[in-house]
Amino acid sequence: MTDETRVVHTVVKVGGGLLSRAGALDLVVEALTAFSPRRRIVIIPGGGPFAEAVRTMFRRVKIGEDAAHWMAVLGMDQYAHALASRLPGAVLVEQQSEVGAARVAGRLPVLAPYRWLRAADPLPHSWEITSDSIAAWLAGALGARRVVLIKPAGGDPRKLVDPFFLRTLPPGVEHFIITADDLGQLDVALDEGGGSGQGRRARQG
């Protein structure tokens, strides 16, 4: 597969933590609206408050890690619906074939990953697995060249990604971390022509 024939060049994970910062999601939607046209991207949702609700139930009700894993992935689906409703030209998709069809139709695919992940079941059922690792696995499944993680500003830089992210990321796939207070770098991170040399101007994880 060459760069010219790839349906998806970049997987963009929009962190659920953005929902906890006033106005952060609005800024990300504006940036994606400005920078995504004519770029071969697919949007992957984070878990955010939906996953946190599952964590609370896990502690209080003792539902077990298998149930918690799939409930948290379903939380990503909920966020996917919200993102698809906010991003101009977006369409909710659930399977690999639907991603390609959306791109061919000129739409921006927002992936609700539960059905795909449930069928493939590629990752451990553990709280060490977050939507970061899921985005990394999906990048490999889609043949993407890059993963861009959009995170809230602040936080411990040593904990920006989960422990399995780098192990899940396929060899040769670049990854970049963009924070909500530096969204101008998103245009650089989404550049499909400059390669890793230009990409390093963004924060490479």
Structural domains in the chain, sorted by start: 3-199 (3.40.1160.10)
- Give residue 91's pLDDT: 98
Find out whether 163 and 32 touch, Cβ atoms under 8 Å.
no
- Give residue 199's pLDDT: 35
**Is the whole model's pTM more than 0.85, yes or no?**
yes
Phi, psi (deg, nearest 5) at residue 170: -65, 150
Find out whether 109 and 93 touch, Cβ atoms under 8 Å.
yes
The count of residues in the chain is 205
Residues in contact with 197: Cβ distance below 8 Å, sequence separation at least 6, in sequence order: none
- Burial classification of residue 91, based on how many CB atoms lie within 10 Å of its CB (0-12 exposed, 13-18 middle, 19 or more buried): middle
Identify which of 26, 18, 10 has the alpha carbon closest to the alpha carbon of residue 45.
18
Query: What gap in Å lies between CA 13 and CA 47, rounded to an integer?
Result: 10
Phi, psi (deg, nearest 5) at residue 69: -60, -50
- Give residue 155's pLDDT: 61
What tokens does 84 get? 């698809």
Q: Which helix (H) or strand (E) holds 179?
A: strand 174-179
- Give residue 2's pLDDT: 62
Query: What gap in Å lies between CA 97 and CA 88, rounded to an integer?
Result: 21
Cα–Cα distances in Å, from 79 out to 28, 120, 169, 180? 14, 21, 23, 17
In the predicted model, residues of the chain with pLDDT beneath 50 are 195-202
What tokens does 85 get? 């409703």
Three-state secondary-structure class, residue 51: helix
- Burial classification of residue 149, based on how many CB atoms lie within 10 Å of its CB (0-12 exposed, 13-18 middle, 19 or more buried): buried
- Give residue 153's pLDDT: 78
Question: For 12-130, where are the alpha helices, taking DSSP H only?
Answer: 24-35, 48-61, 65-86, 96-104, 114-120
- Give residue 6's pLDDT: 80
What tokens does 75 get? 């939380």
- Give residue 193's pLDDT: 77
